[in-house]
């Protein structure tokens, strides 16, 4: 029988790597990294966070996409949603001939155009259990790039459902990963989940669990979370046994704080001695997300005068890096180098966590005197986009950088 499911690529990594490196690497970034993550250009001292940019899961997803195009040159290749949350990488997928299947308003995918002889790439975020089963039913070739860290969370959620625990997921209910993670409860009859976006929503949940005087009425609770819970969710029944998990790219400190708050509410309701029977929690922030957040915290022990965070506006982990940086110094979250206008000396950037928030234009954003510039980037940001943005800043200052082989210029 022909193999139709692939999770380990096609053994073409060495063959594809030179092409991937040529398209996504930056000699300027490598120069700064080689000099201890700091370098001076004129009156600008540039400091790179010691963990930034592409993580292992993103590297793997991109590698598998390139391998897939090389392996099946004569087949129609589809991608479910976006491979990662970076517009340039996704544009490159389009240029390679990959067709995107985007979700409808409710986050539902229509696979009517997919035929048995086609190839479908599953993104690093994964897909819902229902979408996976639909694609398997079509019989098409599936190339699964779901990140291992995401699979780790899925296993936790699956175990919660198996044991009759409701999965409380810290995440964005509209995010592909959170949808896919929540769907894992459906592997067991009666599996339940609820997704909380932030501490404010977690507090509403905790008030209800502990039956505090200020807690929402049952109908109001259902209304508040109606789009964020499993079918038939009944808070009166489904909040007695809870297992905590999270979207892997959330702010680690917030996920930990939410887990602690939920545990407190369980203790308040059932007493400490019975808490272990009603509450479970496991660390499910991915190591790459944690490392990038830790690197920013380390950099902020001596904050730079200005911080540049580079990555897609719909990238959760990039947004959280920017949020961290704003607590210490002037921070500009840009999608790419095009946000920096060399001629006008201006920058367009986003200041809110909401990916739909409009960009803001700043004119006098660079210090007049010598300054330290800190740089980090989300896990889905290629190094060449970091290099391009830096070159534009240096160009505004009238600083020329000698180009070497492989250096991406603006």
| Spatial distance between the Cα atoms of 344 and 161, rounded to a whole number of angstroms | 56
The contacts of residue 223 (CB under 8 Å, 6+ apart) are: none
Residue 121 main-chain phi, psi, to 5 deg: -95, 125
Q: Which two tokens stand for residue 260?
A: 């602690």
| Spatial distance between the Cα atoms of 58 and 125, rounded to a whole number of angstroms | 10
| Spatial distance between the Cα atoms of 225 and 47, rounded to a whole number of angstroms | 43
Residues known to be catalytic: 177
Half-sphere exposure of 283 (CA within 13 A, CB side): 9
Half-sphere exposure of 297 (CA within 13 A, CB side): 10
Mark 133-171 as b/e (b = at least 16 C-beta within 10 Å).
Answer: eebeebebbbbbbbbebbebbbebbbbbbeeebbbbbbb
| Spatial distance between the Cα atoms of 121 and 135, rounded to a whole number of angstroms | 11
Helix, coil or strand: residue 14: helix
Q: What is the largest CA-CA distance in the chain?
A: 68
């Amino acid at each position: 029988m022909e193999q139709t499911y692939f999770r380990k690529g096609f053994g073409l990594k060495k063959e594809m790597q030179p092409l991937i490196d040529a398209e996504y690497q930056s000699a300027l970034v490598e120069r700064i990294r080689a000099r201890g993550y700091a370098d001076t250009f004129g009156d600008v001292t540039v400091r790179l966070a010691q963990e930034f940019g592409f993580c292992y899961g993103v590297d793997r997803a991109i590698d598998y996409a390139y391998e897939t195009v090389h392996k099946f040159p004569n087949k129609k290749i589809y991608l479910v949603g976006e491979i990662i949350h970076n517009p340039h990488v996704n544009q490159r997928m389009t240029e390679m001939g990959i067709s995107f299947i985007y979700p409808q308003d409710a986050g539902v995918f229509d696979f009517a155009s997919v035929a048995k002889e086609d190839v479908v790439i599953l993104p690093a975020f994964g897909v819902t259990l229902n979408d996976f089963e639909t694609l398997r039913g079509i019989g098409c070739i599936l190339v699964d790039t779901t990140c291992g860290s995401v699979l780790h969370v899925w296993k936790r959620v699956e175990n919660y459902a198996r044991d009759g625990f409701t999965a409380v997921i810290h995440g964005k209910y509209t995010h592909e990963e959170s949808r896919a993670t929540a769907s894992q409860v459906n592997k067991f009859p009666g599996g339940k989940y609820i997704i909380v976006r932030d501490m404010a929503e977690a507090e509403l949940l905790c008030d209800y669990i502990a039956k505090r005087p200020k807690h929402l009425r049952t109908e109001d609770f259902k209304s508040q979370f109606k789009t964020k819970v499993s079918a038939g969710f009944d808070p009166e029944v489904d909040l007695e046994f809870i297992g905590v998990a999270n979207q892997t790219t959330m702010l680690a400190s917030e996920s930990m704080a939410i887990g602690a708050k939920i545990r407190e509410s369980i203790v308040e309701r059932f007493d400490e001695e019975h808490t272990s029977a009603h509450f479970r929690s496991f660390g499910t922030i991915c190591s790459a997300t944690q490392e990038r957040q830790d690197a920013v915290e380390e950099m902020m022990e001596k904050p730079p005068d200005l911080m540049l965070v580079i990555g897609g506006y719909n990238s959760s982990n990039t947004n959280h890096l920017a949020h961290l940086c704003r607590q210490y110094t002037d921070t500009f979250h840009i999608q790419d180098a095009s946000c920096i206008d060399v001629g006008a000396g201006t920058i367009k950037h986003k200041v809110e966590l909401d990916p739909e928030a409009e960009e803001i234009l700043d004119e006098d954003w660079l210090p007049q005197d010598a300054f330290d510039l800190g740089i980090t980037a989300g896990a889905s940001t290629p190094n060449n986009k970091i290099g391009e943005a830096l070159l534009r800043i240096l160009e505004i200052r009238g600083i020329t950088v000698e180009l070497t082989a492989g250096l991406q210029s603006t």
